[in-house]
Amino acid sequence: MSDTVLKPDICVIGAGSGGLTVAAAAAQFGVSVVLIERHKMGGDCLNYGCVPSKALLAAGKHAQAMRNGASFGIANADPDVDFAAVMAHVHDVIAAIAPNDSVERFTSLGVQVIEEEARFVDERMVQAGPHKIRARRFVIATGSSPMVPPIEGLDEVEYFTNETIFSRSTLPEHLIIAGGGPIGLEMAQAHRRLGARVTVVEADKALGKDDPEMARLLIDRLKAEGIDIREHTKVARLEKRDEGQIRVHVSGAEGDAAIDGSTLLVATGRRPNLQALDLEKAGVEHDRSGVKVNDKLRSTNSRVYAIGDAAGGLQFTHVANYHAGLVIRAILFRLPAREKRHILPWVTYTDPELAHIGLTEDQARDEGKLNKVLRWPYAENDRAQAERKTTGLIKIVTGKGGRIIGVTILGAGAGEMMNMWALAIAKGLKVSDITGYVAPYPTMSEIGKRAAISYYSDKTGSPVVRGLIRFLRLFG
């Protein structure tokens, strides 16, 4: 074992999206950085998460478009899906992005990359293979892994998680998904559109963290596509059948039942990757949800920060990148950098998409902050009509003085439309600010402006306002 001790300014543990952002930013400012990664550069997002799932969803969307051409005067066609070619497309997309996250690129930026597993030796030192690293600051960016629940019989059957499902080259005959969150429902729709039969089993409510009204509209749409979604239903045990088939025994409000399928995907949540770090030796407190950090993302060891999934909270790539920016501000510039969770949006990339930021209607009401809820349907938008994408609506939750405190969008392009609303909430804008901008016509973003204008609809019948108009007319 080497006796040499590396002494960088910053040691980043984990080369996922957040860790790479910290390493690149610090290196570009001329700061010495050691980056440690035990597995694949790019982490979960590039290799098993955001990138491959969106590539698979895109393939499914193309297949679905072929089935639904008649409304445009184009004959419907049943697509001939080559699933092996679909998966080749998925891996081509990963390969196209991978150079941006590669060891070679980061080495060229001046980052020292160590491809080993890291563990803390004490409060100021990390061991990674033969290397010892004594840094001024450490950033834990180890991400998360699929959480596999203790289901009877699970060890006797073959099952997949999001880390392994993209290794398949054959389309499942009947895909059974345990878990009705964003990952489960995205994979359900993608596989259904590519020709598989799909059943989703969710112990609670599907999309339980989203606005209940909007989530229900999306679930109904997915059911209309032929996806069997069973909510408030638990997987009791698993049974291996002949020829690789799986029987899933479930129990729910409608009693016990058995579902026979060919493939099982477990999508029941994620847990932070902290087990190998020996955090106790560093004096870093943590629990099952992640490292315990303050609103500056600092752990109980003042030298150690945690970001992204490792810090608990919302588990999204853009959150890890947001955290990375905060710790760079704090470590390099000693600037105030506090996490503001209310400005963090999220999107479920089904078709239609479901996007959210801030408080839901129910949350605002429970917290006593609700003023008005503004709505506008896609069906009353000209662009949506032209493209026959009329399913969905926007809900804008307003507080005192018309301040925007929450937005949920269900519909085509909801994720892209959410960018403007994320800016609005981050800057504390009011409905009046939204009514003041000019939207190009025809665009679906007009849906949000029309909803904002409706905030003033009750003013049109106001006797005071009408009296003022009559008075002003006296002057010509």
User: Binding site membership for NAD(+): which residues?
Assistant: 179-186, 202, 269
The closest of 263, 261, 240, 238 to 250, measured between CA atoms, is 238
Rounded Cα distance, 298 and 291, in Å: 9
Amino acid identity of residue 167, one-letter, is S
Contact 424, 452 (CB under 8 A): no
Contact 361, 406 (CB under 8 A): yes
The closest of 52, 191, 23 to 111, measured between CA atoms, is 23
- Taking every pair of C-alpha atoms in the chain, what is the biggest distance, in angstroms? 93
Residue given tokens 């019948």 in the structure block: 461
Contact 233, 202 (CB under 8 A): yes
Rounded Cα distance, 350 and 332, in Å: 39
- Label the pairing between strands 197-201 and 174-178: parallel
Annotated binding site for FAD: 54, 142-144, 309
Contact 232, 203 (CB under 8 A): yes
Chain-centroid distance of CA 100 in Å reads: 21
Helices (H), 211-353: 212-224, 317-333
Rounded Cα distance, 312 and 278, in Å: 18
Contact 34, 8 (CB under 8 A): yes
Annotated binding site: 54, 142-144, 179-186, 202, 269, 309
Contact 262, 244 (CB under 8 A): yes
Strands (E), 288-387: 290-291, 304-306, 346-348, 353-358, 372-377
Contact 36, 23 (CB under 8 A): no
- Residue 357 is given by DSSP the state E
Q: What angle do CA 287, 209, 18 make, to 5 degrees?
A: 55
The closest of 413, 407, 356 to 383, measured between CA atoms, is 413
Residue given tokens 């479920």 in the structure block: 348
Axis crossing angle, helix 50-67 with helix 182-193, rounded to the nearest 10: 40
Contact 183, 213 (CB under 8 A): no
Rounded Cα distance, 262 and 197, in Å: 10
Beta-bridge partners for 230? 201
